[in-house]
Structure 1
Amino acid sequence: MSAAVHTVDADISRANHGHAAIPAGQEAREVARTWWQTRASRSSVIERTLALPFTANSDANTRTRERGLVKLLDWLEDQPGETWQQRWLASGAEDVGRSWAQIPLEWLAGQGRARKYDRIDLAGGMIPLLAGQVVRPGYRWLLRQQPAQLLGHIRRTFDPDGFAALEAHCDATGRDGVLDRRHAMNRITWILTHKGGAIRDITIGDCVELQHAVQELQAQGKGKHLFYALLAETGVFGPNAPMRLKVVMLPGQLAPAQLVDRHHVACRPVRDLLVDYLTERAAELDYISLDALASNVVGLFWRDLEKHHPGIESLRLAPKSRPHGRTASG
């Protein structure tokens, strides 16, 4: 398995560590490697996903979604992998966030099929792809999209009764802030889009995992903890769950491996090397100093290199890639 696939599969897995307040059985769910929707045939995907009850079903919207879905499936079929999810991950679109459409656009151009409305079609085609759970992107991709354009459609197809119950609870408890409620529903939708299942399947660990991703991407928004409160108050986590997200977000002291893994290092050998380094330094540093060292060496140094040089596996950079024109010894 490649380091990139390993990182996606273990997406922000630290939610299961360093949080003693998470009750047993409420740890973050593992990211599934395969599921029936992503193993479906092309014809089955088209037939099933285009029949989903989207929020906007005008003839124009329906045609855009259908054209876009066909283009996305054509592109994905040209990627390596046995499932749609494997092809999505192999395509590289997961790693570029909001610019993801540029990759299939370039593929279409290479096929001699470029059209001026391709970008609109691809955005429309992503709706049935996500709402039909054909692919499940990671949070680093999902949180960089425009939520209003995707999440309303997904809510209508993912557990509509569960979302209706949460809306009713908001009404009954006087949660009248429209933006706060929308942000809360968006967060719950992100969890389901990434992990699958229904609202009743969400765990406390899932919420902690998402909150770490939101904090990392600086996409806090309003009502940032309301999503957890709604789930806790409606009994999703069981009778003994803490009622406030802050309680389970209080971190304990993390082990060196956990300090490294919170930065999502893509290259496994470098990740292991950094763990060994921090483990050695832990014998002579207090925890605050060790935490700061991990943030500097792993987050600000190595992870920054990975973000600017995808696929990097060593410090050997091409001369044009080195900052400020320095040489390797400079």
Structure 2
Amino acid sequence: MSGDELLTSVQSENQTAQGPATAGRTPPRTANQLKAGFPARVQQTSWPSTCLDRTAVIERVLAAPFKLNNTTSQNYRRKGVLAVLGWLSTFPGETWQQRWEVSGAEEAKDWRELFTGDCADGPHGSQPPHLSSGLLMLICADVIRPSLLWLLSFPPARRNLAFEMARTRDAVTFSAMNDTCTTEQVGLLGPFTAVECIDGVHGTVDHGIEGFQQIRAGMDQPHWQVR
């Protein structure tokens, strides 16, 4: 659903909600309706940033906007990036995404336990402590795109992810999303769900912040309730 389509839908449903009393509360959407309105992104294994060679990836993730001001923290992340890239280099594939998928990381209980031999350069051959930090940077730099299911099922992978994505990818849009989620009445029921709110924010990429503000204006109707 595009930003314009979402705006039209919200305005139409708002008019219905303000009409005759028989209109009542908008019923919750079913799982099938949500899937139809928000289809999953087609899984890809090749895009510009995942096709970069090792040197180019390192240069990208160690420079702005990914670079940290704190030297110690930056060095920690650099070690993590080098470790993860070195490990992924042992697997076949033309892109880093392909190597990630072949590695079996998402099928393992803890992907860090797959580090063995030369890759396990921690104390006494244990896993390096900076692996998660290195993977975080590769995700933020769009070098690797782990599946949503894996991100949901492996909490350590989500640590600091939202903050770093906001800092390095699109601070304006993430700020708008955070503001909407914390100050507006968004819920699972009603004409404007949290999922639609996110879709509206994403729509600013094509329609600009003014378009999102128009969409957001539809949330200020009297029938809104906190769910």
Category of TM-score, reference length = shorter chain: 0.5 to 0.7
TM-superposed deviation, 1:167: 2.9
Alpha-carbon spacing, 1:48–1:227, altered in 2? closer, same or farther (3 Å): farther
Which residue is equivalent to 1:91? 103
Q: 1:152 aligns with which of 159, 163, 183?
A: 163
Aligned to 1:134: 143
Q: In structure 1, how many angstroms separate the alpha carbons of the residues matched to 2:57 and 2:32?
A: 40
Deviations 1:44-71 (A, max 9, x none): 1001112243596421111111011111
Is the counterpart of residue 32 in structure 1 residue 44 in structure 2?
yes
Residues 112 and 131 in structure 2, CA contact (< 8 A), matched pair in contact too:
yes
Question: Deviation at 1:111?
Answer: 2.2
Cα distance between partner residues in 2 of 1:63 and 1:133: 20
Aligned residues: 172
Conserved? CA contact 2:121–2:128, under 8 Å: no
Q: Aligned equivalents of 1:171 and 1:55: distance in 2? A: 28
TM-score, normalised via structure 2 length: 0.62
Equivalent in the alignment of 2:75:
63
2:112·2:127 contact (CA, 8 Å) conserved in 1? no
| Distance (Å, rounded) in 2 between the aligned partners of 1:173 and 1:148 | 25
CA contact (8 A) 1:127 1:154 kept: no
- Runs of 5+ unmatched residues, structure 2: 1-30, 205-210, 220-227
Structure 1 residues 84, 112: CA separation in 2 closer, same or farther (over 3 Å shift)? closer
The aligned amino acid for 2:48 is W
TM-score, reference length from structure 1: 0.44
Gaps of 5+ in 1: 1-16, 181-224, 244-330
Residue 76 of structure 1: aligned partner: 88
Highest relative contact order (Cα 8 Å, sep 6+), 1 or 2? 2
CA contact (8 A) 2:120 2:127 kept: no
Deviant stretches of 4+, over 6 Å? 237-240
Q: Aligned partners of 1:235 and 1:79: how far apart in 2? A: 34
Compute the RMSD of aligned alpha carbons: 3.6
* Contact kept in structure 2, 1:55 and 1:152, CA below 8 Å: no
User: What do the CA deviations read for 1:205-225 (whole angstroms, capped 9, x no partner)?
Assistant: xxxxxxxxxxxxxxxxxxxx9
Going from structure 1 to structure 2, the CA distance change for 1:236 and 1:63 (only over 3 Å counts) comes to same
Give the distance between the partners of 1:234 and 1:114, measured in 2 at CA. 42
Q: Distance in 1 between matches of 2:146 and 2:176?
A: 26
Aligned match of 2:33 in 1, 4, 19?
Answer: 19
Contact kept in structure 2, 1:68 and 1:118, CA below 8 Å: no
